[in-house]
Amino acid sequence: MKRVQLFLLVVLIIGTSAILLDSESQELVSKRQMNVEEMSMEDVLVMLGDDTLIHSINIMDAEKVKTGEDLVRNGSTIRNGKKTERISKHFVCTDCHNLTSEFKDISSQAPEDRLAFATANNLPFLPASTFWGIYNRTSFYNKDYEKKYVDLVIAARDSLENAVQVCAKYCSSGRYLEDWELESIMHYYKSLELKIKDLDLPEPILKSIRMYGQLQPTEKSELISTIKESYVHGYDATFLETMRKDERMYGKDGDAKKGEEIYEKSCLHCHGGSRVTYMNLSKSKLDAKLFWKNRKNYSDYSLYQIIRHGTFAKTGRQQYMPLFTEEKMSDTQLNDLMAYIKQLAGK
């Protein structure tokens, strides 16, 4: 009987000791086992002591996500059994924005990297930045967009909600969003947020995240900086002037294969079968001849002009063409496009 009592006493002491382990140690054990790669980047940064995003959403609503996706893809949705008013009669968001990653290395902004990824993953090569990861960005309508939208971008630079409203009203030639529409789109963006696995961080960094409970404040701060250096916080936008005639290569030494990829994934995305615009284009010799004929001009039929300046919405023709910034299509890529046009035109 005494041996049984002694055994129970030992068990009680061991159990009590486990319970009395300091909470930080228990938390550390738990965090070591967590799947860091599947955690949202926002959660990890806040866990390390970073500030929350000004548009942070604590609990993502699945129904709002679905509604937001409808609005982004279709421009309207079904609410209370009825189809809602379109945000724009002329565009939907996916005319200019992808919804998935556009880079193998998401810290890159190089248009060559973006085209290579688009080709490998069968994505459009578009004039605007992807919505994937937009929830994690903190800067919008950067650099030269002020030249086009002037004071409109001031309130939109640091606010995702305001940036969405500018896009809905002006970029898409539409209207301002109602509160429920904006909230739904924000929840959809939340569903596209970056996760730690998207950053391709080395194992030592992942290990540090798992051991965050043992890190000193300076170490946490350094870890926050490392994570933030792994993605783009705001895409740059550099407007280029139309290339002078004496600077134009007209496709000489250009890569016609890459030019064909640009034509298919960019030009035909909107102009193929007049899907978005009034101007129908195909991979025909006749269409190529039109651009080749105007290669030395400064008209809307000159690729050197239209790609750098686009067009503006006007009465009777709201479906304007957005310009391509240097970050979205380089001069080298423009020459590649001309090399393909020259080839297709039989010149």
CATH of domain 245-345: 1.10.760
- 229 phi and psi, to 5 degrees? -80, -5
Domain range list for the chain: 23-237, 245-345
> Contact, 211 vs 28, CB < 8 A?
yes
Strand blocks (E) in the chain: 78-79, 82-83
Kindly write down the DSSP assignment for every residue of 286-332, as one continuous string.
HHHHHHHHTTTS-STT-HHHHHHH----BTTB--PPPPPPTTTS-HH
What is the model's pLDDT at position 23? Answer: 47
What is the model's pLDDT at position 73? Answer: 98
CA–CA distance, 284 with 288 (Å, rounded to integer): 6
CA–CA distance, 128 with 34 (Å, rounded to integer): 36
Please give the structure tokens belonging to residue 260.
């064909």
* Angle made by CA atoms 175, 308, 95, in degrees to the nearest 5: 40
Around Cβ 333, how many Cβ atoms within 10 Å? 24
Q: Which of 274, 294, 281 is nearest to 338 (CA)?
A: 294
Determine the residue type at 145: Y
Sign of CA dihedral 108, 112, 113, 118: positive
Per-residue pLDDT of the chain (347 residues; tens, 9 = 90+): 444 444 333 333 334 444 433 444 344 434 445 689 999 999 999 999 999 999 999 999 999 999 999 999 999 999 999 999 999 999 999 999 999 999 999 999 999 999 999 999 999 999 999 999 999 999 999 999 999 999 999 999 999 999 999 999 999 999 999 999 999 999 999 999 999 999 999 999 999 999 999 999 999 999 999 999 999 999 999 999 999 999 999 999 999 999 999 999 999 999 998 678 778 999 999 999 999 999 999 999 999 999 999 988 776 666 789 999 999 999 999 999 999 999 999 99
> Contact, 86 vs 174, CB < 8 A?
yes
What is the model's pLDDT at position 318? Answer: 67
Global pTM value: 0.88
Q: Which of 266, 278, 282 is nearest to 313 (CA)?
A: 278
